[in-house]
Amino acid sequence: MSLDEEMQGEILKMENEMRRIDEELEKLQSRVLHLVGVRNKLHRDSDVLRAYFSPQEQRKEKQATLLGLMK
């Protein structure tokens, strides 16, 4: 095999490896975007639940404190 043929073979190997890396990066990017979306949804949901239950929790804490003071 001549030097030129060897170099062409190496170029093909490198291009194939770059193509494989690009495909893997696309998959990873898709996965990251999916996870960010899921995290954002969970954050919004937890904020809604926290806002809904927070006043009740504060009320319970105040009642417990008042009961403790009355004893």
What are the extents of the domains in the chain?
1-71
The percent of residues above 90 in pLDDT, for the chain, comes to: 62
Q: What is the model's pLDDT at position 62? A: 67
* 23-42 pLDDT, tens digit each: 999 999 999 999 999 999 99
Residue 60, pLDDT above cutoff 90: no
Q: How far is CA 70 from CA 10, 15, 58, in A?
A: 84, 79, 18
> What is the band of 2 on the pLDDT scale with cuts at 50, 70, 90?
very high
Q: What is the model's pLDDT at position 23? A: 99
